[in-house]
Amino acid sequence: MAGGFKALKGQGHWPTLFAAFLYFDFSFMVWTMLGPLSTEIAESLKISQDFIMSPSQKATLLSIPILAGALLRILLGFGVDKFGAKKTALAAQSIVISVLFYAFFRGQNITYNELLVVALGLGFAGASFAVALPQAGQWYPPKLQGVVLGIAGAGNIGVVIDFLMAPKIAELWGWQAVFLVGGVLSTLIFVMYLFMAKDAPKEVYTPRPKKIGDYLKLLRDKDTWWFNLFYAVSFGGFVGFANYMKVYLMNTYQSDMSAFGVDFLNEPNVKVIAGYFGALTIFAGAMLRPVGGAIADKMGGVKSLYIFFGSVAVLALVNGFVDLPFWGAIFVLFLIMANLGMANGAVFQLVPQRFGKDIGIMTGIIGAAGGIGGTILVKTLGWSKEAFDGYSVGFMIFAGIVFVAISGISLVKTRWRTTWGLQAGGKI
- How far apart CA 137 and CA 133 sit, in angstroms, is 6
Residue 122 — φ and ψ, nearest 5°? Answer: -65, -20
In the chain, residues under CATH classification 1.20.1250.20 are: 11-209, 214-428
- How far apart CA 286 and CA 160 sit, in angstroms, is 8
What is the Cα gyration radius of the chain? 21
- How far apart CA 108 and CA 9 sit, in angstroms, is 50
> Residue 387: which pLDDT band, with cuts at 50, 70 and 90?
very high
- CB 37, CB 168: distance < 8 Å: no
Burial class (CB in 10 A: 0-12, 13-18, 19+), 254: middle
Percent of the chain whose predicted confidence (pLDDT) is above 70? 89
Is 70 exceeded by the pLDDT of residue 153? no
- CB 28, CB 159: distance < 8 Å: yes
Kindly report, residue by residue over 180-229, the tens digit of the pLDDT: 999 999 999 999 999 998 887 776 666 666 778 888 888 999 999 999 99
Other CB atoms within 10 A of residue 81 CB: 16
CATH 3.90.420.10 fits 214-428, yes or no: no
> Residue 145: which pLDDT band, with cuts at 50, 70 and 90?
low
Q: Report the pLDDT averaged over residues 336-358.
A: 86
Report the candidate in 336, 215, 353 with the shortest Cα–Cα distance to residue 284.
336
Is 90 exceeded by the pLDDT of residue 375? yes
Mean pLDDT of the chain, nearest integer? 87
- How far apart CA 316 and CA 405 sit, in angstroms, is 14
Kindly report, residue by residue over 267-319, the tens digit of the pLDDT: 778 888 988 899 999 988 888 887 888 888 888 889 999 999 999 999 999 99
Distance of CA 359 to the CA centre of its chain: 19
Residue 203 — φ and ψ, nearest 5°? Answer: -70, -15
Q: Report the pLDDT averaged over residues 100-121.
A: 94
Q: For the chain, give the number of residues.
A: 428
Using alpha carbons only, what angle is made at residue 334 by residues 164 and 161, rounded to the nearest 5 degrees? Answer: 20
SS3 315: helix
To the nearest 10°, report the CA torsion of 166, 148, 369, 306: -100
Name the pTM for this structure.
0.85
- CB 113, CB 203: distance < 8 Å: no
- How far apart CA 124 and CA 37 sit, in angstroms, is 19
- Which CATH class name applies to 11-209? mainly alpha
Is 50 exceeded by the pLDDT of residue 368? yes
Q: How much is the pLDDT for 158?
A: 77
> Residue 7: which pLDDT band, with cuts at 50, 70 and 90?
low
Q: How much is the pLDDT for 160?
A: 85
Residue 378 — φ and ψ, nearest 5°? Answer: -60, -45
- How far apart CA 90 and CA 68 sit, in angstroms, is 18
